[in-house]
Amino acid sequence: MKTTLLLGVIFFAFAQFSSAEGDIAINDAWVREVPPGSSVSAIYMTIQSNGDEDDKLVSMSSKAAESAELHTSKVDSNGVATMEMIEVLDIPSNNSIDFQPGGMHIMLIGLKESLVGKDSVNLKLVFEKAGEVMIEVPVKKGQEGGHKHHH
């Protein structure tokens, strides 16, 4: 009896483990509330890969904007900030990738309506292996500084 139970637990644990393979979790996603009339904004999040296989983020879209692109802000030694588009983002297995202000973000281009007063925007992420992931991204005001970590 006890052995069966133990085997059951082990099996269950493995089943859980294997079902997580290739799984992608999106954590702490938010989109910046921007002034009325703004046509662009940025989505930040953490992409957590729980799988044993490497994956790739290949495309994204949102009903809130005409298009969405993966960008990273870069500041050179002269203080000049530019944005670089990332066509395909590698998601290594068992790893997490942070999107944060001043770094990687999903740029929403051509906002269809003001984000002021909106609760959330929808976002579809398409991964090569994990497939489509749909999330609702809450709209938040930038709270820079309050809890920003130092580098």
- Which residue, 16 or 78, is less far from another protein as judged by CB? 78
Tell me which residue of 135, 38, 149 sits closest to 101, measured CA to CA. 149
Q: Element (H or E) spanning 106, and its range?
A: strand 104-111
Of 6, 75, 86, 88, the residue at the interface with another protein (CB under 8 A) is 75
CB 125 within 8 A of CB 57: yes
Residue with Cβ nearer another protein (4 or 143): 143
DSSP 55: E
User: Please, which residue, 63 or 150, has the CB nearer to another protein?
Assistant: 150
The pair phi, psi for residue 6, each rounded to 5°, is: -60, -45
| Residue 116, φ and ψ in degrees, nearest 5 | -65, 125
Minimum distance from residue 130 beta carbon to another protein (Å) = 23
CB count in 10 Å sphere of residue 70: 21
81 near another protein, rule: CB under 8 A? yes
Q: Between 2 and 31, how does the x/- string for binding to another protein read (CB under 8 A)?
A: ------------------------------
- Examine residue 112 and tell whether it contacts another protein (CB under 8 A): no
Name which of 1 and 81 has its Cβ closer to another protein.
81
In this structure, the strands spanning 120-127 and 95-99 are: unpaired
> Which residues bind to another protein, rule: CB under 8 A?
32, 34-42, 66-67, 69, 71, 73, 75, 78-83, 85, 101-102, 105, 107-110, 141-146, 148, 150-151
